[in-house]
Amino acid sequence: MSILINAQTRAIVQGITGGQGAFHTKLMQEYGTNIVAGVTPGKGGTTVEGVKVYDTVRETVVAEQPDWSVIFVPAPFVKDAALEALDNDLNIVVITEGVPVHDELTIVARAEEKGLVVIGPNCPGLLTVNEAKLGIIPGHIFTSKGNVGVVSRSGTLTYEIVALLADKGMGVTTAVGIGGDPIIGSTFLDILTLFQADPETEKIVMLGEIGGNMEEETAAFIKQNITKPIGCYIAGQTAPKGKTMGHAGAIISGKSGTAQSKMEALSAVGVKVGKIPSEVVNLIA
């Protein structure tokens, strides 16, 4: 099994005619993802990487029956693109960074109303090994399917952990980059719940970072709901207070949101917390 996406997933790319959209459409196809259409207003009837482009999401839904959309449009236009996809009953992956917070709130609220999944914004997307990937995660680092689910706030940390797992002879079921903005769609709680229900995922790696209280909330949730072993790393352990480090959501205020507070909360509920990424892999190996 897998979570969220598999070999049967039918996806469209909004912003497919842009440089990033076209480039990553090709890479998603090479991984085996079924990209059934693209959407760029005013470019309907053209093709990109052999994929037919439509002017609207509605046209693609009628013609191609997709279930996911990957959004590669500039930040000022993300809200309209996301709402268009959600209003046509598509789950979405929002790769774009710099999306205004008020727009993110609107997108997440609409998805909750519709019962749909949002991954991101400001995320690398997700990948189910040997089946499909939606986003910019490099497929070549996933050398084999295994039993470890990966969920992360950081794209580059995701890649590092996957490579370290491979070095240990451990493969991944699905990897999900949830994004590093203050407001995101799917959270650690959402993805951990899916991994808990997936029989092929036997272990979980969770990669957090400073800022906000998502990891502390997740610790309380893990205690009540997750029985599978979890290894965790929190990025930003040496970050000074009050500074944004990397992601827009990575800012510490007072004692809340520090790496230490997150590590202590997670350790207290039995999560194996490493001081460096490689230690996490050793802890769950």
pLDDT digits (tens, 9 = 90+) for 37-56: 999 999 999 999 999 999 99
CATH homologous superfamily, domain 138-284: Succinyl-CoA synthetase domains (3.40.50.261)
At residue 257 the predicted structure's pLDDT band, cuts being 50, 70 and 90, is confident
What is the reported pTM? 0.94
pLDDT, average across residues 221-236: 95
Domain segments of the chain as ranges: 10-119, 138-284
More confident residue, 41 or 251: 41
**Architecture of the 10-119 domain:** 3-Layer(aba) Sandwich (3.40)
Q: Which residues are catalytic?
A: 247
pLDDT of residue 210: 86
Residue 86, pLDDT score: 98
Give Rg (Cα) of the chain.
Answer: 18
Q: What does the pLDDT read at residue 211?
A: 81
Only one residue has tokens 């490579």, namely 163
Q: Is 48 left (phi over 0), alpha (psi -120 to 50) or beta?
A: beta
Is it the case that residue 150 has pLDDT exceeding 90? Answer: yes
**One fold for 10-119 and 138-284:** yes
Mean pLDDT of 239-265: 66
Could you write out the three-class secondary structure of the chain?
CCCCCCCCCEEEEECCCCHHHHHHHHHHHHHCCEEEEEECCCCCCCEECCEEEECCHHHHHHHHCCCEEEECCCHHHHHHHHHHHHHCCCEEEECCCCCCHHHHHHHHHHHHHHCCCEECCCCCEEEECCCEEEECCCHHHCCCEEEEEEEECCHHHHHHHHHHHHHCCCCEEEEEECCCCCCCCCCHHHHHHHHHHCCCCCEEEEEEECCCCHHHHHHHHHHHHCCCCEEEEEECCCCCCCCECCCCCCECECCECCHHHHHHHHHHCCCEEECCHHHHHHHHC
